[in-house]
Amino acid sequence: MIRSLAPLTIPLLLNACSLVHDDLPNESPTLQLSRVICQTPEAATPDTLVNGSGDICRTRRGGEVRFEVRGADEDDDPLVYHWNAFGAGSFRDSVAVAENSWFAPESISSNSEQFIIQVTISDRACGLVPDPDDRQRCIDSSQEVVENFFVEVVQRRPVLSVIADTTALFSQPQLTIDAFGSDPDDDPLEYSWEQLAGDFDLGIGRNPIRDLDTGRQIGSQATIAAFHPGDYLLRVSISDGEATVASEIALQFPVDPPLPEGGTLSLTLPETGAAYEIDIYEYPNIRGELPLFATWFEANRLCALQGKRLCTSAEYQHACQGEGDAARPYTSTDDPFLYQGATNFGVRFCNTAQSDFAQPGVDLFDQFAPSGSFPNCVSPSGAYDMIGNMAEWVSDPAATEVVGTRNVSDVIGSPTDWTCGNFSGLPALPLGEGTDYTDTTAVFQTLADNEVDAILIGDGGYGSLFGFRCCR
């Protein structure tokens, strides 16, 4: 077995290095064929590109690029092919071959990165020569040709699908927007939501959308709460770690229908069938104006001057909560529990402790809002600000006495503190139903004649300052 190897080794070395032809010049190899077969990310089938034509091969991360080269040698020397990617990616064949595949790196430094793939064609296999002197003579006499290929590895951009511009009424509690993303390289995606424009901050909640079978995230759902009417601009984006794709969404939150300027509502008490009218806003019942503070006596007088009177607690509660399927314990189209403990809900609910007008440490009188400032603070009947803003006077006639009562749901209460039926009563006054409240002198004389406690009619009693609205 050992002897049989010797005859094979000698010809191999002679072929590897034509030392027997030292007296003749060694001609350099020539390149006969140089092309690349490239599967670009967008193409359905591979392209065959001639190297040097100006066309660059583009492939995805981890993609395969096939190379074909052919060399020729005038001296009929055997040719050796050596491939080099300078440490990037990997080759299919580690040994020297004329056809080879290079596999692009799985990660690149940016959205795209170019690589040089180099093949060296030599007419000497000098590395096989064992003797150092002969090996050096081989190297000195060898000839080679070098061919460079340029490959661009690209990070394919993710694809984003999202709803177009949308409009939602301000009375709508919240708006949901679904964004779906996919990545051709199957990279994990990160979703982000950002408000770009609008006079006030939106409340934006984010939740992943997952495939029901695999649990894999396939999208993101944003829950949008507008705390003020108006126009806003939102941006949703997805990123695969390198490339980012974004889409802008114009949002509109109008108040529709527009708020009334004032006026009254015609209602009927379900218990008695009695018809009555109630002001839409707190006195003076004008949208955009601050409500008036008054004592119980002054409120009675101002209503009487309009041919009206203070509402009863039954009328007030009925107008506040509505009836039938539309009835609700709060005078807002919103669910107050959504805002319990909220830092700020703007003008979305009613003017209570978390509203734009409620400021800790500020005088209570400076925290009241003009009528109609809270578009959603409307009862099923169509009356505004019956919860929050300011406590309001009401009166309950009983025989020849009148009980002064106030609805205590003012700005200092949190959203869930007060309901339409929350009243605070005062002892009855000896005033008949036919009392002329415009004659304040006569009213107070009657109270004096009946020895009514001054505390009861002063600050803390009927002389306290509250808001009111009129009925008839």
The answer to whether residues 313 and 274 belong to one domain is yes
Q: Give the pLDDT score at 343.
A: 83
Q: Give the pLDDT score at 25.
A: 80
Q: Is residue 270 part of a domain?
A: yes
Q: Give the pLDDT score at 65.
A: 96
Which region among 20-29, 46-55, 114-123 has the lowest average model confidence (pLDDT)? 20-29
Cβ pair 240, 185 in contact under 8 A = yes
The answer to whether residues 26 and 165 belong to one domain is no
The answer to whether residues 296 and 442 belong to one domain is yes
Q: Supply the range of the domain harboring residue 181.
A: 159-253
The number of helices, as runs of H, and strands, as runs of E, in the chain is: 6, 25
Q: How far is CA 441 from CA 65, 243, 385, 448, in A?
A: 103, 81, 32, 10
The answer to whether residues 215 and 353 belong to one domain is no
State how far the Cα of 246 lies from the Cα of 235, in Å rounded to an integer: 7
Mean pLDDT, the chain, rounded, equals 87
At 412, which helix (H) or strand (E)? Answer: none
- Written in H, E and C, the secondary structure of 128-142 is HCCCHHHHHHHHHHC
Query: Among 154, 179, 214, which residue terminates a domain?
Result: 154
Q: Is residue 259 part of a domain?
A: no
What confidence category does residue 248 fall into, taking pLDDT thresholds of 50, 70 and 90? very high
Hey, which residues does 161 pair with through a beta bridge? 180
Q: For the chain, what is the domain count?
A: 3
Q: What distance lies between CA 208 and its chain's CA centroid?
A: 11
Per-residue pLDDT tens over the stretch 89-120: 999 998 889 999 999 998 888 888 999 999 99
What confidence category does residue 401 fall into, taking pLDDT thresholds of 50, 70 and 90? low
Q: Which whole number is the average pLDDT over 186-205?
A: 94
The answer to whether residues 132 and 211 belong to one domain is no
Q: Give the pLDDT score at 7.
A: 36
The answer to whether residues 240 and 355 belong to one domain is no
The answer to whether residues 399 and 439 belong to one domain is yes
CATH code, domain with 77? 2.60.40.10
Q: Give the pLDDT score at 92.
A: 94
Query: Among 154, 185, 205, which residue terminates a domain?
Result: 154
| Sign of the alpha-carbon torsion through 199, 205, 211, 215 | positive
Query: Among 227, 253, 279, which residue terminates a domain?
Result: 253
Per-residue pLDDT tens over the stretch 439-465: 778 888 888 888 888 878 888 888 889
The answer to whether residues 349 and 423 belong to one domain is yes
State how far the Cα of 175 lies from the Cα of 395, in Å rounded to an integer: 42
The answer to whether residues 69 and 144 belong to one domain is yes
Q: Give the pLDDT score at 18.
A: 45
Q: Which whole number is the average pLDDT over 207-222?
A: 95
Q: Is residue 258 part of a domain?
A: no
The answer to whether residues 244 and 192 belong to one domain is yes
Per-residue pLDDT tens over the stretch 403-434: 777 776 677 777 777 788 888 888 888 877 67
Q: Which whole number is the average pLDDT over 250-258?
A: 94
Q: Which amino acid is at 395?
A: S
Tally Cβ neighbours within 10 Å of residue 116. 12
Residue 8 has pLDDT above 80, yes or no: no
Residue 19 has pLDDT above 70, yes or no: no
The answer to whether residues 225 and 289 belong to one domain is no
The answer to whether residues 133 and 166 belong to one domain is no
State how far the Cα of 456 lies from the Cα of 195, in Å rounded to an integer: 54
Contacts 24+ apart (CB under 8 A), 133-141: 134/13, 134/17, 134/19, 135/17, 137/17, 137/19, 137/22, 138/16, 138/17, 138/19, 141/17, 141/18, 141/22, 141/26
Hey, which residues does 64 pair with through a beta bridge? 103
Q: Which whole number is the average pLDDT over 296-307?
A: 92
Q: Which amino acid is at 454?
A: A
| Sign of the alpha-carbon torsion through 391, 396, 397, 403 | negative
